[in-house]
Amino acid sequence: MRRLKLQVQTTVDGYMAGPDGEMDWMTFPWTDDINTYIDAMTAPVDCIVLGRKLAEGFIPAWESGPQGETQETIDWMNNTPKVVISNSLTESPWKNATVAGGDLAETVNKLKSEPGGDIITYGGGTLVRELIAEELIDELHLFVNPTAIGAGMPVFPDTRRRLRLVTARPFDCGITALHYEPKRS
């Protein structure tokens, strides 16, 4: 069965965005060591899952070939098939992306049961919290930025989650990657 990985940037105090969606707290530029780590983490991935709101900015941003990114990364982001989770869209306005709605657990479990490599999600916030609440994520890769913002959009829903630390890796840019797996009940 395919594994669903979450890759999310977070603050030390557990937020993935500020109260109004601000992301100006993120650490950039990244260093070669974090890029190498992410390349290894995404090597077995052949599907990206996004929430509709994130997809609206994410897909066009990568299609425009953002400055500071390697052509290899841009090509991977653009060429990897995407599934946009949405109950408001009926068809995809983007190339190389399909829309899936309905029951989230059913949709994700169907994707995970299909042949292929791993699946990665970058969010957005509502989708991340729903995936965690439904216990659909197999690996959590939290990229903890050396910043606390005090309030905002939390990574985790308002329920307890037991996690097992797989690795903790600091990078030269100041970010620390925490790789967890959920402890299933």
> CA 4, 37, 74, 48: dihedral to nearest 10 degrees?
0
Q: Could you tell me which residues come within 8 angstroms of residue 25 by beta carbon, excluding any fewer than 6 positions away?
A: 11, 18, 145, 147, 149
Is 100 strand, coil or helix? strand
pTM above 0.85, yes or no: yes
* pLDDT over 70 percentage in the chain: 99
Q: What is the pLDDT of residue 74?
A: 94
Q: Rounded distance, CA 138 to CA 125, Å?
A: 17
Residue ranges of the domains in the chain? 4-182
Q: What is the pLDDT of residue 55?
A: 95
Q: Is the pLDDT of residue 124 over 80?
A: yes
Q: Rounded distance, CA 72 to CA 183, Å?
A: 35
Q: Is the pLDDT of residue 123 over 80?
A: no
Kindly state the tokens that stand for 114. Answer: 């299909």
Q: What is the pLDDT averaged over residues 145-160? A: 94
Q: What is the pLDDT of residue 185?
A: 67
Q: Could you tell me which residues come within 8 angstroms of residue 80 by beta carbon, excluding any fewer than 6 positions away?
A: 45, 46, 47, 48, 96
- Look-up of token digits 């899936």: 100
AA identity, residue 73: T
Q: Rounded distance, CA 155 to CA 60, Å?
A: 24
Confidence of residue 76 (pLDDT cuts 50, 70, 90): very high
Q: Is the pLDDT of residue 68 over 90?
A: no
Q: What is the pLDDT averaged over residues 24-28? A: 94
Tell me which of 3.20.20.70, 3.30.1120.10, 3.40.50.12500, 3.40.430.10 is the CATH number of domain 4-182: 3.40.430.10
H runs (alpha helix) in 43-124:
52-63, 71-79, 104-113
Kind plus residue range of the DSSP H or E element containing 39: helix 32-42
Q: Rounded distance, CA 141 to CA 122, Å?
A: 10
Q: Rounded distance, CA 8 to CA 184, Å?
A: 21
CB 138 within 8 A of CB 181: yes
CB 7 within 8 A of CB 155: no
Confidence of residue 41 (pLDDT cuts 50, 70, 90): very high
Q: What is the pLDDT of residue 157?
A: 87
Q: What is the pLDDT of residue 114?
A: 97
Q: What is the pLDDT averaged over residues 79-105? A: 95
Q: Is the pLDDT of residue 53 over 80?
A: yes
Average of per-residue pLDDT values in the chain: 95
**Peptide bond just before 93 cis, omega within 30 deg:** no
Q: What is the pLDDT of residue 62?
A: 96
